[in-house]
Structure formats: C-alpha cells, structure tokens
Amino acid sequence: MEESPIEAIPAFSQRSQPKRPINKRFIYLVLTIIVLLIAFFSFKAFGPKTKVAVTQNPDSITPSIAQSEVSDTATPTPTVTPAVTPTINPVDEASGLDRSQLSVIIQNGSGEDGVASKASDTLKNLGYNVISTGNADNFDYANVFIQVKPASSDYLDLLKTDLGLSYTIGTTSADLPDSFSSDALVIIGK
C-alpha cells in the first residue's frame, strides 16, 4: 500500500484576512458619553448643596430653595420670616382716608434703576394699592410729580405728606383724566 501524500494545509497569513476598519465616530461618541457621565456624577457628589428655607406669608407658608454650604449629614431647617405688611394703619387718623382704596401707578422719571420700585415699596408699606410701576414718558423730571383724578382729590394732600417724608415734592394736581387706569399717577424725578 502506498501512502498517499499528505495534503498541505493552507497556511493563513495575517494579510489574507481583511482588516475591519475602526469607526472613529463611534469611539468619539463613547468617550464623550463617558466624560459627560463623569462630569455629571462629580457635580452631584461635590457640587453645592441646597437648603430649603420656609418663608411665612400671613396667608400661607411658601418654601424656597437657597444655596448654602451644608455638609452631607446636615438636615435642612426651615426658617420663618414675616412677610412685608404695612408699617402703619392704612387709614389716616387725621383725614380718615383709607390709603388702600387709592390705586396708584408709579413711574420712574429720573432714569436711575430701581427708583419706581423703591417708591412702590414705600407706598405699599403705608398701605397704598400700587397696581404697577414703569418708566415715565421721559427722564427729565426734577422732583416728584403727583396727579390724581378729580374724584380722588381728597387723597392729594395725603400723598404729598406721605411721599414728602422721603422725596422732594414738585408739581401736584387733581386733573388726571377719568380714563386713566388708576386713581393716581406718581412720577419720581431726580
């Protein structure tokens, strides 16, 4: 019997298999996701802690979130602060007029930031019904300008007295048109 020759086993070289190309977009996507996850969890672990503060309003209690440096073991404690209420009775003792019955619009006639808001706070603390604040038609007012509707002319002297404690009063009149959206217009000048 003759032996048959052994067939040669084909040798596979590394070049005979085609190389699969590396998808660079996929690698960049995976790396970006990993970096974002690390950043997110680092911020959650080491970022600022929040503290819940409770502000008390006469009608309700409203929680608010405040940023603070709180250790991980501390528990938030509510703090109670009173809401802004009129510092005096809204009814004027001398005239008997109820300030809360007069609707007032306050405008900034000076051009400085926050002037109308400050005057609004002043009148609200006295009990006035301030319905809006905004800018005047120009910023050239030198002093406080007060204008009331004829039907509310009784309030003109009271407004002058109340605003005169903090401001220099300029022009006042009781000729505000009845079509105006409030009973009084106050323009705060320089």
Residue showing tokens 């503290």: 51
Average pLDDT over residues 14-18: 59
Task: Check the CA dihedral 159-132-128-126 and report its sign.
Answer: negative
**pTM higher than 0.75, yes or no?**
no
Q: What is the pLDDT of residue 68?
A: 47
Mean predicted lDDT score pLDDT of the chain: 77
Does 176 have pLDDT greater than 60?
A: yes
- In whole angstroms, give the CA distance from residue 87 to residue 162: 13
Q: What pLDDT sits at residue 29? A: 92
- Asked if residue 147 has pLDDT above 60, the reply is yes
Together in a domain, 172 and 105 = yes
**What pLDDT is stored for residue 71 in this prediction?**
47
pLDDT at position 162, please? 84
Burial 106-119 (b: 16+ CB within 10 A, else e): bbbbbeeeebbebb
- pLDDT, residue 165, reads 85
Split into its structural domains, the chain has a count of 2
DSSP β-bridge partners for residue 55: 62
pLDDT of residue 122: 87
Is residue 59 domain-shared with residue 112, that is, in the same domain?
no
Structural domain includes residue 163: yes
Q: Give me 104's structure tokens.
A: 């007032």
108 within 8 A of 188, measured Cβ to Cβ: yes
The answer as to whether 18 is a domain residue is: no
SS3 content of the chain, % helix, strand, coil (to 5): 25, 25, 50
**Contact indicator for 132, 119 with CB cutoff of 8 Å:** no
Give the mean pLDDT of 11-30. Answer: 73
CATH number, domain at 167?
A: 3.30.70
Residue 20 lies in a domain: no
What are the structure tokens assigned to 77, written together?
Answer: 């404690």
Which residue has better confidence, 12 or 126?
126
Question: Is the domain of 76 the same as that of 117?
Answer: no
**Residue 190 binned pLDDT confidence (cut-offs 50, 70, 90):** confident
Structural domain span for residue 176: 99-188
Amino acid of residue 130? V
SS3 at position 39: helix
- 118, pLDDT greater than 80: yes
